[in-house]
Amino acid sequence: MKDVAAQLRGFGPVGLLALLIILAGNLVVVPLSAVLVLVWAQLSQTPLQTLGFAAPRSWTRTLAIGIPFGVALKLIMKAIVMPLFGAPEINARYHYLAGNAAALPWMLYAVVLGAGFGEETVFRGFFFERLGKLLGTRPAALAATVVLTSGLFALAHYRDQGLPGVQQAAVAGLVFGTVFAVTGRLWLPMVAHAAFDVTAVALIYWGWESAVAHFLFR
């Protein structure tokens, strides 16, 4: 068992196969990739704390900071950053959510568990651990890890949302990655990420996308 654990922690055929299986998980159902990360941690004897699952110093403080931070980041992205990129004011891929109450339960599941929990577990927790083994954890290496994971996170959004999705995910990934790099804990970026995406859903559902997108740029 120790040999298997060591191979899973390494970057040989077994370790790379595990990486590919984890990445393929969400092609089946979200957040399967995140669940597979937890299975990998168990089988590889990797402490969950090294993936960022150390308990927060205060759950109340984490929620009190994370929720408004995620909401504010989404509004800033929609009102300032994305218009500067020349992105469309309407998210065409998810415009079907406008006024569509029947679609909300699945979408809220997807953004809270699939994005908040799932994407942060994979792109911050898992990839930070893997790249930390390759690059080290000195400040320069950690900065490179933030950039690399943000790039991977951005590319993962291309198939679903095209270039605007890549642009938004790249900026959000840099923000969430920096938060994780500083705190070493996943809970704050998880809460902020979920709040970010719930805000995005709310803007679409209530038809506020255009108004926010034109708040500064008429």
- Of the candidates 107, 105, 117, the one whose C-alpha atom is nearest the C-alpha of residue 35 is 117
Whether the model pTM is above 0.85: yes
Sorted by where each begins, the domain ranges of the chain are 1-46, 53-213
Q: What pLDDT tens digit does each residue of the chain (218 aa) get? A: 668 899 999 999 999 999 999 999 998 898 999 999 999 999 999 999 999 999 998 999 999 999 999 999 999 999 999 999 999 999 999 999 999 999 999 999 999 999 999 999 999 999 999 999 999 999 999 999 999 999 999 999 999 999 999 999 999 999 999 999 999 999 999 999 999 999 999 999 999 999 999 988 77
* Cβ contacts of 31-37, under 8 Å, gap ≥ 24: 31/113, 31/114, 31/117, 31/118, 31/119, 31/121, 33/118, 33/121, 33/122, 34/117, 34/118, 34/119, 34/121, 34/122, 37/121, 37/122, 37/125, 37/126
What's the DSSP call for residue 56?
P
